[in-house]
Amino acid sequence: MLCIAIPAIFGVMKNVPNILSAVRILLTPVFIILYVQDELLYRSLAIGVFGFAAITDYFDGYIAREFNAGSNLGRFLDPLADKFLTFAGFAVLPYIDIATFHILPVVLIVLRDLFVTIMRLIANRKSYTMQTSNIAKFKTAVQMVFLPIALLGGLFVHAEIPPSEFTRWLFDSGIFTWALYAVAAFTVYTGIDYIRINKDLFVKSDENGN
C-alpha cells in the first residue's frame, strides 16, 4: 500500500506549484477590486489577499524544488503570476493618493517588467537561457519591501487608529514619493542590466534573421 501511496503523493505534488501560480493569478483581480474600495474592511481584506498570494510564491518554489516538480508550464506561470501581482500592487498606489504616488514611476516599473517578460518569451522561443544578475534579484526584494509598506500606508492613512497619524506624516513628508521614485529608478536600472548581460539574445536573433 505504501509503495502505491508514495508515487501517488509525488504525482499530486508535481501539480501543486502550477496550481499555486494559477491561484496567484486569480487572486490578483480580487485584490484590486477590494483595495480600491474606500472602506477599511475591504482594504484590510485586500491586504490579506495580497499577503496570501505572496506566500504562495514561496510555497510553489519550495514544492517544485523538494518534489522535483519543475516544468515548462511552471517556468512560464510562476514569473507571470509574480508580475501580475506586482503590477496590481503598484497599479493601485495612485488610487490611494495620486499626489503622493505619481503615475510616471508606476508606469516605468510596469514597462520595465513587461520588457523583461517579453525578453523571456523570446529567449524561450529561441532556447536561450536568460542570465539573471544578483542585482535583479535584489530588485525583487526591494519591491517586496516597499509594496507592503505602501499598501499598508493606504490602509491606515484615513483610518482612525493609532498608526494613522504616523502614516499621514509619511504621506505629507514626501517620503513615500521619493521612495517610489527610488524603487522605479532602481527597477529601470536592473532592466538595463538585463539587456547588458543578455546581449547575446539579440545577437542570436540577428544571426538567425528573425
Residue 178: its pLDDT value, please? 97
User: How large is the average pLDDT for residues 162-185?
Assistant: 93
Q: Whose CA is closest to 16, among 63, 54, 72, 52?
A: 63
Query: What is the grid cell recorded at 61?
Result: 518554489
Angstrom distance (rounded) from CA 90 to CA 75: 23
Q: Count the Cβ atoms, other than its own, within 10 Å of residue 129.
A: 10
Residue 14: its pLDDT value, please? 64
Most confident of 40-44, 65-69, 75-79, 121-125: 40-44
Least confident residue range of 41-55, 56-70, 98-112, 166-180: 56-70
Q: Whose CA is closest to 194, among 127, 138, 119?
A: 119
What ranges do the domains of the chain cover?
Answer: 1-71, 92-210
Quote the percentage of the chain above a pLDDT of 70: 87
Angstrom distance (rounded) from CA 134 to CA 74: 22
Residue 180: pLDDT band by 50, 70, 90 thresholds? very high
Residue 135: its pLDDT value, please? 85
User: How large is the average pLDDT for residues 49-57?
Assistant: 91
Residue 13: its pLDDT value, please? 60
Q: Is the pLDDT assigned to residue 210 strictly greater than 80?
A: no
Angstrom distance (rounded) from CA 65 to CA 14: 10
97-135-175 Cα angle (round to 5): 25
Hey, what's the torsion of the CAs at 184, 174, 151, 138, to 10 degrees? 30
Residue 28: pLDDT band by 50, 70, 90 thresholds? very high
CA distances from 22 to 15, 19, 74, 82, 132 (A): 11, 5, 10, 10, 24
The model's pTM is 0.82
Q: Is the pLDDT assigned to residue 167 strictly greater than 50?
A: yes
Angstrom distance (rounded) from CA 42 to CA 130: 40
Residue 89: pLDDT band by 50, 70, 90 thresholds? very high
CA distances from 39 to 22, 33, 36, 117 (A): 28, 12, 9, 34
